[in-house]
Amino acid sequence: MKKILILLVISYICAVSANHAVKKLYPAKLREEIRVIPNQKMVKLLALGHDGFAADILFIKVNLHSGSLMWKPLKFVFDSNWSYGIMDLITDLDPKYFTAYLFSAMGLIHNFDDVKRAKPIVEKGIRVFPDSWELPFWIGYDYYVYFSDYHTASEYLWSASQKPGAPKSFLSLMFNALKEKGDYRKALWALKSLHEKEDDKNIKLIYAKKIIQLENLLTLQKAVRIFKKHRNRLPDSLDEMVRVKLLKKIPEDPFDMTYKLDSKTGRVMINRTKTGA
């Protein structure tokens, strides 16, 4: 028994010494991994009919590259071109790889330009999964948050809201995007949905006032369209439409704001200036 213990101690010391020697001789060093976007035909040939398995392996590689940046030194940066090139390949190998489409717009965004790289991949996914609300939602969210591109954001968010099972939780985001875009009709639909599901009386009252505000904007915008149709030009101001009797008067804003007309685009907007200020 004593000999066995001595042998165990000696073995342990040898193992620790060997490990220490290896670290001294071959110190651990972080290196950039080799990143190449392989040819799709070559991958399919090597996969021997297991395209889905090959897509899984490539997906893991992209995840490791993206996730490892959390603990690697700052000199290691995200390779957007490679990552999105691989994601495009993955979704070609396995067109029903829903997680890959979702991850492209949701978890793989490292900088502003990645949103633009994700867009065609997600659009490919939308064609494969036409009933998914998640895919158009995340692209809409990205364009809203990263670019303040309300036009693109509102189109995708509106599309998402019309899909089966779409939650109402992002209606506020969609309402803001639609309103900033100037699509008051769809914004009104979103706002009425928010008003309908709201239980808090104070918030419900605010929503009711915003509904009146949007209805005023719709009325004014309609008058501008009629004016342009009959006179082949935009009105100089909202008051001009009152003078030509297209409007009885400029509607009163429920928040005591004023309305203004962009004479170049013909869009009616809230002036953000209170009446009498």
* pLDDT score recorded for residue 83: 95
Under the banding of pLDDT at 50, 70 and 90, the label for residue 277 is very low
Rounded-to-integer distance, Cα 64 and Cα 59, Å: 9
Is pLDDT above 70 for 31? no
Q: What percent of the chain has pLDDT over 70?
A: 87
Under the banding of pLDDT at 50, 70 and 90, the label for residue 151 is very high
Contacts of 7 (CB under 8 A, 6+ apart): none
pLDDT (mean) for 124-137: 96
* pLDDT score recorded for residue 231: 93
Under the banding of pLDDT at 50, 70 and 90, the label for residue 26 is very low
Is pLDDT above 50 for 248? yes
Question: What element of type H or E holds 258?
Answer: strand 257-261
Is pLDDT above 90 for 104? yes
Interior/surface letters 70-98, b for 16+ CB within 10 angstroms, e for the rest: eeeeeeeeebbebbbbbbbbbbbbbbebb
* pLDDT score recorded for residue 41: 92
**Residue 11 or 219, more confident:** 219
* pLDDT score recorded for residue 12: 67
What is the reported pTM?
A: 0.75
* Structure token pair of residue 238: 């909202």
Is pLDDT above 70 for 275? no
* pLDDT score recorded for residue 273: 59
**Residue 192 or 1, more confident:** 192
Q: At 64, which amino acid appears?
A: L
Q: Where along the chain do its domains lie?
A: 198-277
pLDDT (mean) for 124-152: 95
Within 10 A of 259 (CB to CB), how many other CB atoms are there?
A: 19
Under the banding of pLDDT at 50, 70 and 90, the label for residue 98 is very high
pLDDT (mean) for 48-67: 92
Is pLDDT above 80 for 24? no
Three-class SS state of 270: strand
